[in-house]
Structure 1
Amino acid sequence: MYEERPSRLTGAVVWRRTPEDPAARPVLPDGCMDLLFSEGRLLVAGPDTRAHVPEGPPRAWAGLRFFPGTAPALLGVPAGELRDARVELTDLWPAARARRLRDRVAAAPEPATALEEAALHLAAGSGDPDPLLRRLVRCLDAGHPVAATAAGLGLGERALHRRCLTAFGYGPKTLARILRLQRALALARSGVPYAETAARTGYADQPHLARDVRQLAGRTLGELLGGQGPSGDGPPLGQRT
């Protein structure tokens, strides 16, 4: 079973998963990064460019999913270094600091809430988040072209690309493609026909949507929507925003 709630950290989501469902569900790209806890391990899930299928038997997870682009400033690691990876926090932080946080989370009655408290503490010490990044995500998620988005933000395309690599782990075109996938999944899940879903989310046609889903998710749209449910270390398909 998977459950989530909005976090007190702006834009973030607190979630937990219990291992009743034996099937490993793919975690799809969504522009986010997560701080994860399971069985005494504290990890960071970097930004995905392809579906991630968890390995091993089902187990309980707790997590905090950061709004796209916000985790690197809080965790002190450029997103590009964690692309398509799940990394122990001890590999990113000084070992003693990472162990202290791991021990606090392990001892907490609700590990997911302890992760949220830790992130709030980090945010309090790091200053205000970069408002440009949030504007960027909203523009691309609305389907605005990358060039127009860069101009609207007062940046050249190269400068925008550099900012995106640090904050998201990939360039703005990849981010736009991933956000479009999530919009399409949400529409298709709500019952919108595939052809209409493609048109409303900016694909050239339904085959274009089908190719993009296959490339990013490794499955067909029908396979994804026919197998909705909680993933191995995160939320139900397409529910990571």
Structure 2
Amino acid sequence: MGLDIVSRPSDSPYIDRVWRSRSDDVCQMTAVAAASWDLVFWERHGEVSAAVVGPETAASPAPVPEEATFFGITFAVGTTMPHLPAGRLVNSAAELAGTTRRSFQLKGSIWRLPGYDDAEAFVRRLVREEILVRDPLVAAVHRAGSPEAHQGASPPAYAHQTAPGASRVSERTVQRRFLAATGLTRGAARQIDRARRAAVLIQAGVPARDVVHRLGYFDQPHLARSLTRFVGRTATELSLGEGLAAGPLSLLYAT
């Protein structure tokens, strides 16, 4: 009962995660903050809908259609649809018109609905049609600034210089391209990813004090504020599986 979510990683540089879920006797969830965006399809009572769901800058309650099935593609940071600017999608979503059980409309064309097992083939077609593009500098900058790349310390101010070609561009250019590709600043994306990673570690049984050291938080109150803001749960709630009154969590995985 609730929201049953299954997900898998992908070998595509354009995709962060592929997931599917089913809602049963639940009408609300806590949407965890995310620096990435999703293409989501859902079916309820024979009616199919689709939407592009943008990055979320904070945890928030979100309605869940009851007795529905969902399929989604979470795109890697740095991947964008130029006709849907990232800045317009932050904390928002754009529903796609003309969606049926077989097809949907995207940028004026009819596309066959993808599935959990053929998401990569679908994305390759989007790339060939230049509907989907990727900024490799933004992707590399984001990886270089991830919590796992700097365990035990805050990421360095010039972490982007580890990215291919980054030494040939200015910090201002990196910031501009990151904002254009994600709708977020590098700092905001890093904070969101760190909180998600912290939540995954705590759910796995890692003590909060160890998470503080491992991910470079100042102290446990700093961690607590981050979890509350970006995940919508305290460390205790995550470790004990509590906080269900606010609904189940959306897809939560280590970025």
Q: TM-score, normalised by structure 2?
A: 0.76
- Relative contact order (C-alpha < 8 Å, sep 6+): which is higher? 1
Distance 1:195 1:134, change over 3 A: same
2:144 to 139, 144, 165: 139
What is the 5 A alignment of 1:161-176?
161-176=175-190
Could you tell me which amino acid in structure 1 is paired with residue 136 of structure 2? P
Query: CA contact under 8 A between 2:29 and 2:63: conserved in structure 1?
Result: no
| CA–CA distance in structure 2, aligned partners of residues 99 and 55 of structure 1 | 29
Gaps of 5+ in 1: none
Q: Which runs of 5+ in 2 are unaligned?
A: 99-103
Per the TM alignment, residue 166 of structure 1 is displaced from its structure 2 partner at its CA by 1.3
**CA distance in 2 between partners of 1:203 and 1:96 (Å):** 41
The Cα offsets for residues 94-137 of structure 1, whole Å up to 9 and x where unpaired, read as 96756722xx32xx7xx434654432201234497332122111
**CA 97–77 in structure 1, closer or farther in 2 if over 3 Å, else same:** closer
Match for residue 79 of structure 1? Answer: 86
| Equivalent pair of 1:32/1:240 in contact (CA under 8 Å) | no
Distance in 1 separating the partners of 2:82 and 2:25: 31
**How far did residue 22 of structure 1 move?**
2.1
Higher deviation after alignment, 147-156 or 190-199 = 147-156
Q: CA RMSD in A?
A: 3.1
Contact 1:34/1:64 (8 A) holds in 2: yes
Task: Tell me whether 1:65 sits opposite 2:74 in the alignment.
Answer: yes
Structure 2: distance between partners of 1:135 and 1:128: 15
Q: Answer whether contact 2:196 2:230 (CA < 8 A) is retained.
A: no
Give the aligned length.
Answer: 228
Counterpart mapping for 1:207-222 below 5 A: 207-222=221-236
> Is the 1:147–1:157 contact (alpha carbons within 8 Å) kept by the matching residues of 2?
no
Structure with a larger share of its residues in helix: 1
Q: Which of 28, 35, 46 is 2:39 aligned to? A: 35
Distance verdict in 2 for CA 1:221–1:23, change over 3 Å:
farther
Greater Cα offset, 182-191 or 111-120: 111-120
Cα distance between partner residues in 1 of 2:82 and 2:8: 22
Measured against aligned partners, the alpha-carbon deviations of 1:133-154 in whole angstroms (never above 9, x if no partner) come to 2211111102463522244422
Mark the CA change 1:5 to 1:175 in structure 2 (over 3 Å): closer, same or farther: same
Flag the structure with higher strand content: 2
State whether structure 2 residue 8 is matched by structure 1 residue 5: yes
**Residues 234 and 43 (structure 1 numbering): CA distance in 2 closer, same or farther, change over 3 Å?**
farther
Q: Which amino acid aligns with 1:6?
A: P
Shift of 1:25: 2.8
